[in-house]
Amino acid sequence: MTEDKIYVTQPLLPELKDLNRYIQEIWGSKWLTNMGKMHNEFEHRLKDVLKVSNVSLFNNGTIALLTAIKALNLPYGSEVITTPFTFAATPHCITWNGLKPVFCDIEPDTMTIDANKIENLITPNTSLILGVHVYGFPCDVKKIDEIAKKYNLKVIYDAAHAFSTEIDGVGIGNFGDITMFSFHATKLFNSVEGGCLTYKNLDLVKKIYNLRNFGIQSEELVEDVGINGKMNEIQAAIGLLNLDLFRKEQEKREHIKSFYNAKLSEIKGIRLLKMPNNTTDSYQYYPIVIEDDYPISRDKLYEKFRDKNIMVRKYFYPACTDYECYKHDLAVKLADLKTVNACKQKVLCLPFYGALTDENLNSICKVICDV
């Protein structure tokens, strides 16, 4: 057993002396929130990092996704085709907007929504496709774009795992109508809490700005039914500092990924996932698939890790279709989610952050190898 727990991730943190310098500036300005200097600088710098034309910051990714759906003015009660192999926030944001999630199966190699199964789920009541770039693996954005144009549907992507990911040199935030990024503390890039929306349509700039500020246009005019989605100055300061650090963290995780690949690639029953050649890796998670020919099940391996104080994660288990709030009102039968039902029982995310030592990594791999 390791003396200290090894967690599945660890937050990227700036030096306190650097943060104190930013906080002193914030204290001096007396401007703590409502689109201050730090906020606006952070928003501007993110455009370059994400290679997008428009960025709107939010206090967290869930509020950002809620707002993205609201901004598209979808018919109330209409259907949204999405994946159940995702974090709870994805379908919850659909439901909170008065829309109905329709769950689609996933593709086995990337575990993203299976674009080849979307068309069979489209009805006259479908208004949106909401894809998730799971573990940083991109959805089939080309196929989804073709489907959306054919049926006149909107497209939103949940890119909570895909910060800085690019496809053929194009920032992943350029696909679909709107893309949401999360800056939660568990993400490789974080601002403690936070998130943003990226989009091309200039008509959305003012719409999203107003929605994240209660719908207020001026002191005497409230135009939209908005929400409080504003990021404060301290969050923005941490985000600005971490923009200078996240590339180095990605380099460390690249080394860790190579270490894992070398140790685990030849173990029978352990399947490693491979990023497409035209896609850059966000290095958010390191998932492995425990196949049927491995000596024990994923859940038993999970317990062996826990016995060693290694906090791996069954991510995503349960699937959203297993939640009490969704399983009794499914738009598709569970039999149609064959890959989801297999993957949720087989995937394990290993510890993956820059502070892991080679000794830590050997301990982690040894648990798998010893079985």
Beta bridge partners of 349: 287, 313
pLDDT digits (tens, 9 = 90+) for 45-63: 999 999 999 999 999 999 9
Beta carbons of 144 and 177 less than 8 angstroms apart: no
* Rounded distance between C-alpha atoms, residue 23 and residue 17, angstroms: 10
* Residues with Cβ within 8 Å of residue 122, at least 6 apart in sequence: 81, 147, 151, 153
pLDDT of residue 47: 98
pLDDT digits (tens, 9 = 90+) for 194-216: 999 999 999 999 999 999 999 99
- Buried residues in 73-103 as b, exposed as e (16+ CB within 10 A): ebeeebbbbbbbbbbebbbbbbeebebbbbb
In terms of DSSP H, where are the helices of 72-201? 89-96, 141-151
* Rounded distance between C-alpha atoms, residue 143 and residue 114, angstroms: 10
Enter the DSSP assignment of 53. Answer: S
Tokens, residue 46: 């993110």
pLDDT digits (tens, 9 = 90+) for 11-52: 999 999 999 999 999 999 999 999 999 999 999 999 999 999
Residue 331 has pLDDT above 70, yes or no: no
Give the DSSP H/E element, type plus range, for residue 37: helix 37-50
Beta bridge partners of 360: none
* Residues with Cβ within 8 Å of residue 8, at least 6 apart in sequence: 311, 312, 313, 315, 349, 350, 351, 352
* Residues with Cβ within 8 Å of residue 255, at least 6 apart in sequence: none
| CA-based nearest residue to 87, from 195, 208, 238 | 195
pLDDT digits (tens, 9 = 90+) for 273-291: 999 999 999 999 999 999 9
Q: Which residue has the higher pLDDT, 186 or 2?
A: 186
Identify the CATH number of the domain defined by range 16-104+113-243: 3.40.640.10
Domain boundary assignment for the chain: 16-104+113-243, 247-370
Q: How many CB atoms lie within 10 A of CB 150?
A: 10
* Rounded distance between C-alpha atoms, residue 44 and residue 223, angstroms: 26
Residue 161 has pLDDT above 90, yes or no: yes
pLDDT bracket for residue 328 (50, 70, 90): confident
Beta carbons of 80 and 129 less than 8 angstroms apart: yes
The SS3 of residue 206 is helix
Beta carbons of 127 and 80 less than 8 angstroms apart: yes
Q: What is the DSSP string of 246-299?
A: HHHHHHHHHHHHHHHHHHHTTSTTEEE----TTB------EEEEE-TTSSS-HH
* Residues with Cβ within 8 Å of residue 235, at least 6 apart in sequence: 59, 183, 191, 192, 193, 194
247-370 to CATH, choices 3.30.2320.30, 3.40.50.2300, 1.10.540.10, 3.90.1150.10: 3.90.1150.10
